[in-house]
Amino acid sequence: MEKKVEVSMLWQLYGKLLTEKQYEFIDDYYNNDLSLSEIAENNEITRQAVRDIIKKGEKKLFKYEEKLLFMKRTLNQEKKIEKVLLELTKIQKDYSDKEIANVLENVKKELNCLV
């Protein structure tokens, strides 16, 4: 997974556990696509200070994920749901019983809500 996407996902999961500046700067850098210079200028600090705050925040995010594994579990769950949906679609195509088709359609709708 691309680092930018990974950090953004981790920020969504664990961002509130960061300091206010780490939360804000990571949001600006990864989600709002601001440069280090732009963030530095907006906060009247050096570019290096912004970089250090972001790096410390990233390190915390990866540490939280290493211990809690929320993102890993969520991604694994989504993969399993997608696999089940594919299997349900195959069954739906192979069997013409309307009652079975309706039940399968309802199950698919419920699973799609989880993804």
Write the pLDDT tens digit of every residue in 72-89: 898 888 899 888 888 888
The predicted pLDDT at position 43 comes to 98
Q: Which domain holds residue 31?
A: 3-68
In this structure, the answer to whether residues 62 and 80 fall within a common structural domain is no
The predicted pLDDT at position 61 comes to 97
CA 32 to chain centre: 16
pTM: 0.74
pLDDT at 39 over 80: yes
In this structure, the answer to whether residues 30 and 81 fall within a common structural domain is no
How far apart are the C-alpha atoms of 85 and 113, rounded to whole Å? 12
In this structure, the answer to whether residues 48 and 88 fall within a common structural domain is no
In this structure, the answer to whether residues 49 and 89 fall within a common structural domain is no
Q: Could you write out the DSSP letters of every residue in the chain?
A: --HHHHHHHHHHHHGGGS-HHHHHHHIIIIIS---HHHHHHHHTS-HHHHHHHHHHHHHHHHHHHHHH-HHHHHHHHHHHHHHHHHHHHHHHHH---HHHHHHHHHHHHHHHHH-
The predicted pLDDT at position 64 comes to 96
The predicted pLDDT at position 100 comes to 80
The more confident residue out of 94 and 49 is: 49
In this structure, the answer to whether residues 83 and 40 fall within a common structural domain is no
In this structure, the answer to whether residues 54 and 13 fall within a common structural domain is yes
The predicted pLDDT at position 89 comes to 81
- Of 30, 53, 68, the residue at which a domain comes to its end is 68
Token pair recorded at residue 15 = 């961002």
CATH code, domain carrying 51 = 1.10.10.10
